[in-house]
């Protein structure tokens, strides 16, 4: 059995980790870490765990936890793990971090967009960006995983096949994103109150959202060029889900002709043919958040607009599963030599 510790077990991503891992046959959760609920029963925080989880919440003592478990998930705010991580921890235990502390390879970029000093830059180069679809072999050998952000995961997987193939002009990429309110976390915020969110949709973080450099960096690796793009997120009145609609101009072929829709679609089918959790939808079917809710799936599709010579790339996923906890478990499975889908055979919920 893999012994697991979770720091931040009472946040939305932490709670989702518990829900998924309770159904994982190879896992035993040994430590439910929560600074806000120390010594309280976990099921008193999440009533859905009544008579399922009988443990109490402990503190976030990383050093003590590392002595008792095989892997630690940190579902914590930016700066938490970087402020505590040292070589002693990593020599004892594998760590999967759900924050942004080790996702961005350039320290200055991280500090600019997140507004905090990075306390553990010595581990940035070692950390593996945990998007299994592109870094599967690196994940298997890693001891520190930077679990990707929710918006970057869906954005990247929606655009990746064409970025990698070099058939779109990366300087023209525009990403329109929409997310449910759970993406903002469980903390009390006026902007997330029912009366603020219900019957409303709004953009936020316009030209300044901190997931922008993560998306640019990863698409830069895929395309082999520096990427600067527009990313605009929106808050929509639903609990879960992310919908990405991305736009870019198509390049011409070497012979000067245009790519047709069959050729563009083939790039997606080739890229994801062997991927368990990325589903390329039938032609003419647009991704919808309700068809991936509660699951680790990402649904993608693409449409060529011949009139404007642009391509519309679309993706939908559950921000708490593939966008956080599910992807973290997917990484854990690879790190411990388990089937990648172990504990993740979650059929999307409907309605």
Q: Could you give the CA distance from residue 93 to residue 184 in angstroms, rounded to a whole number? A: 29
Q: For residue 258, how many C-alpha atoms fall within 13 Å in the half-sphere facing its CB?
A: 12
Q: Could you give the CA distance from residue 343 to residue 1 in angstroms, rounded to a whole number? A: 13
Q: Could you give the CA distance from residue 142 to residue 202 in angstroms, rounded to a whole number? A: 39
CA distances from 320 to 58, 151, 217, 292 (A): 23, 11, 22, 11
Active-site positions read 150
List, in order, residues 6 or more apart from 112 with CB less than 8 Å away: none
Q: Could you give the CA distance from residue 90 to residue 67 in angstroms, rounded to a whole number? A: 11
Q: Starting from the edge strand earliest in sequence, which strands make up the sheet with 278-280, in order?
A: 202-203, 230-235, 168-179, 242-250, 310-317, 298-305, 278-280
């Amino acid at each position: 059995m893999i012994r697991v510790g979770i720091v931040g077990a009472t946040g939305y991503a932490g709670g989702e980790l518990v829900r998924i891992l309770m159904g994982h046959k190879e896992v035993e959760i040994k430590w439910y870490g929560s600074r806000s609920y120390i010594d309280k029963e976990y099921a008193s925080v999440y009533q859905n765990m009544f008579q399922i989880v009988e443990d109490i919440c402990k503190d976030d003592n990383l050093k003590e936890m590392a002595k008792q478990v095989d892997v630690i998930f940190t579902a914590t705010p930016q700066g938490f793990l970087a402020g505590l991580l040292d070589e002693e921890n990593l020599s004892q235990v594998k760590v999967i971090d759900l924050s942004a502390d080790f996702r961005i390879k350039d320290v200055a970029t991280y500090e600019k967009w997140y507004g905090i000093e990075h306390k553990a830059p010595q581990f940035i180069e070692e950390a593996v960006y945990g998007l299994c679809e592109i870094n599967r072999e690196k994940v298997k050998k890693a001891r520190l995983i930077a679990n990707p952000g929710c918006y970057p995961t869906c954005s990247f997987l929606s655009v990746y096949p064409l970025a990698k193939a070099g058939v779109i002009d990366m300087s023209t990429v525009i990403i329109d994103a929409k997310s449910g309110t759970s993406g903002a976390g469980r903390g009390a915020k006026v902007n997330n109150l029912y009366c603020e969110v219900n019957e409303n949709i709004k953009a936020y973080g316009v030209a300044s959202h901190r997931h922008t450099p993560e998306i640019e960096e990863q698409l830069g690796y895929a395309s082999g060029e520096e990427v600067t793009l527009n990313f605009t997120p929106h808050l929509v009145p639903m609990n879960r889900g992310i919908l990405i609609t991305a736009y870019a101009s198509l390049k011409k072929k070497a012979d000067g002709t245009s790519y047709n829709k069959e050729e563009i679609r083939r790039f997606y089918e080739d890229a994801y043919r062997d991927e368990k959790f990325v589903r390329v939808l039938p032609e003419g079917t647009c991704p919808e958040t309700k068809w991936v809710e509660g699951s680790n799936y990402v649904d993608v599709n693409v449409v060529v607009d011949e009139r404007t010579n642009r391509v519309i790339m679309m993706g939908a996923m559950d921000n708490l599963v593939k966008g956080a906890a599910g992807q973290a478990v997917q990484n854990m499975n690879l790190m411990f030599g388990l089937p990648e889908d172990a504990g993740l055979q979650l059929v999307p919920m409907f309605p």
